[in-house]
Every structure is written in structure tokens, then in C-alpha cells.
Amino acid sequence: PHDLLPVSPNLLPGGGAPFVEIIEQPKQRGMRFRYKCEGRSAGSIPGEHSTDTTKTHPTIRINNYRGPGRVRVSLVTKEAPHRPHPHELVGKDCRDGYYEAELAPERNVHSFQNLGIQCVKKRELEAAVAERIRTNNNPFNVPPEEQRGDYDLNAVRLCFQVWVRDGGPGGLHPLPPVLSQPVYDNRAPNTAELKICRVNRNSGSCRGGDEIFLLCDKVQKEDIEVRFSAEGWEAKGCFSQADVHRQVAIVFRTPPFREPALRAPVTVRMQLQRPSDRERSEPMDFRYLPHHGEPPLHPRPPPRPGRLGPCAQRVPDPSACMGGPQIPLICTQSGAPNRPPLCPGVPPAPLGSPWGGDWGGLG
């Protein structure tokens, strides 16, 4: 057994048997697996806490040991039994689909940079599995007959294997392998990172029913929800599969808030959720407003009592407007002509006509 190693100067006193611990997991989502034809521009597997400003990478620590050794990182399937995965690691010190290097004796923490995941096509699956068997890349010693079958090509785990010098015969001895959390291919809509890119509005009535256009990264129309949530409350936006356009846009209506008689605006969270694995996007703020709290988009001006001022002379005979020449009205105080009133059946004068402001020599 691995926990009964002989006493060695490399084993730290009082610490027990050496073991491997993952102190920085690989980031589960956001990385795209690359095909071989795309070259080695796959980038590196980021660490779980990696950000745009601070880059981290998968990191392990060998506890209760400091000295020479060897480490191997390979890809295995997400589900047990953890078979060697057809995909492979590419980058410096990688060969036959796995990474292997000597450990620095003075350090017990080791970070893995510049490791990319290269995926195989379905027609290359059998050849890739045969290559894993040929190179003995099999951390959990899964029998060859169990290595054939269906593989999830959208998910892998990193397997870390470490050999240390324990003072016994035979040189290096293996420690129990450890597995990372799953890493998902960001190209696959059923496993990709969920992300809201843009919405046409981020507020609406507390009674719900407002139509929202949401742009997002690729989703599956049968496996996506829009969730609204606040402390002690959650509801779903209303839409059908037909409202998901080309996997990147969703048109939905907002659900009513728990308080239909809201008196002040309330900010809640709006997120995408994938029901199959409960994965959620980063939240976006949405403001519920009181039902009458939104001003009209185009306020109407107050009605005017009439087009003409009280000082304008009236047309003595309305029939003069019917088919005959339209005579401007004259203001009795200023002497300025006024626009004539509209008579039944007579359309308003077009712009540029004498009634539109160019009065010519009338007066």
C-alpha cells in the first residue's frame, strides 16, 4: 500500500506518508478544445481563480516530502472507471498525449503552464484509444476491453501521478493518483460556459410581461432558462423553444415580481441557467419598477383650446372652404395672417405651400 513507505531522508518528520494535493484546480469552463489542424494555438489551461489581470494555472503540492521525483499529467474520462481519454495534452514536455517532467528537489509545489487540450475527431477515436493502450497511458489500469466504447468528447479530467524516492529498493515509487474537477469544451452548447452578452432593457414593471431581447453565447433551446431571483424569491422568464434564435438570442417576457403593488424600485438578479447540470451564468442586474413608475415613452402635449387665438376673425361662410380658394384669416390685433382651420374633407396644406409659412404678397 502507498501509505506504508519506508523511512527516507526525503520524508518530512512527523508528517505521515507523502500524498499529492491539488491546490489550484483547472478552470472548468471557458476553454475551447482545439483540433490538431488548428496548430498549437490552443493556449494554456487556466486555473480556477484565473482572471484577466491575474493568471493562474493548475497546481499541485506534494505533502510530507521534499526531494527528487517525477510527475505525469494525463487526460482521463469524467466518469468512472476513469479510462484514458482519446484527447491529449499538448505543449512543452508533452508526448504520446501526456505531460511528464522531473520534479525540482527543492520545491514541493508545482504549477503546470502552457498545457493545451487537443481533441480528436470521431473517426479518429479508435486509433487514439489504441495509442493510449500501446503507450501504457493508463493511470487506473482499466482493462483494454473496457477502454472501448462511447466517450464523452466534451469533458475530461486531469490526472496527476507523482513518483518519489522513498528510500526503499527500486528507486522511485508511485503515490496514489489524484483527479481534477471536470474540464468542459466551450464549443459544446450542452457544456459551455453560459454568458449573457447584452439585453435591450434591464428594467420593467413589477407586474411582469415586459418583452426582452437577450443576446448570449451558444445555448440549447431545449435546455435553457432565464432565471430572476432575489432573497427568498425566484421565478423564470416566459418563452418557448421557438423564441430561441440560432442558439444565440432569446426573446422572453419577464415574470411578475412577488410584490405586485411595489412602491419603490427593486433590483434583482437575472441569469441564464441550464437545467441539465444546474450551471448558471454570471448574474445581471434587473430593476423591477412600480406599475405606474415608468413615464410614457412619448408624452402627449396638453390639448389646446383651438388653433386660432381669440382675436382671429371667423370665416363667415364655411362653404368658402369647400372647393374654393382658401383665404387666410387676419388677426385683428397684429394684422398677421393665421393658418386657416381645417374644414371637413380638406386635407392639411403641405409644407412649402402658402399656408405653410410662405405667405407671398398676401396681407
User: Which amino acid is present at 335?
Assistant: G
Question: What pLDDT was estimated at residue 11?
Answer: 65
Q: Choose the CATH number for 19-184 among 3.40.50.720, 3.30.230.70, 2.60.40.340, 3.20.20.70.
A: 2.60.40.340
- Taking the CA of residue 280 as centre, how many other CA atoms within 13 Å lie in the half-sphere pointing to its CB? 10
Helix (H, G, I), strand (E, B) or coil at 116: strand
| pLDDT band at 37; cut points 50, 70, 90 | confident
Q: Where are the domains positioned within the chain? A: 19-184, 196-289
The answer to whether residue 343 scores a pLDDT higher than 70 is no
- Please, which residues have CB within 8 angstroms of residue 232's CB and are 6 or more apart in sequence? none
pLDDT tens-place string over residues 162-187: 999 876 666 789 999 999 999 999 88
- Please, which residues have CB within 8 angstroms of residue 265's CB and are 6 or more apart in sequence? 203, 287, 288, 289, 290, 293
Which helix (H) or strand (E) element contains residue 125?
A: helix 125-134
SS percent in the chain: helix, strand, coil, step 5? 10, 35, 60
Residues 111, 4: Cα–Cα separation, whole Å:
27
> Same fold for the domain at 19-184 and the one at 196-289?
yes
Is the link from the previous residue into 340 a cis peptide, with omega within 30 of 0?
A: no
Question: What pLDDT was estimated at residue 106?
Answer: 86
Fold held by 196-289? Immunoglobulin-like (2.60.40)
Q: For all residues of the chain together, what is the average pLDDT?
A: 82
Question: What pLDDT was estimated at residue 40?
Answer: 55
pTM above 0.85, yes or no: no
Residue 13 CB coordination number (10 Å): 7
% residues pLDDT > 70 (the chain): 74
Helix (H, G, I), strand (E, B) or coil at 165: strand
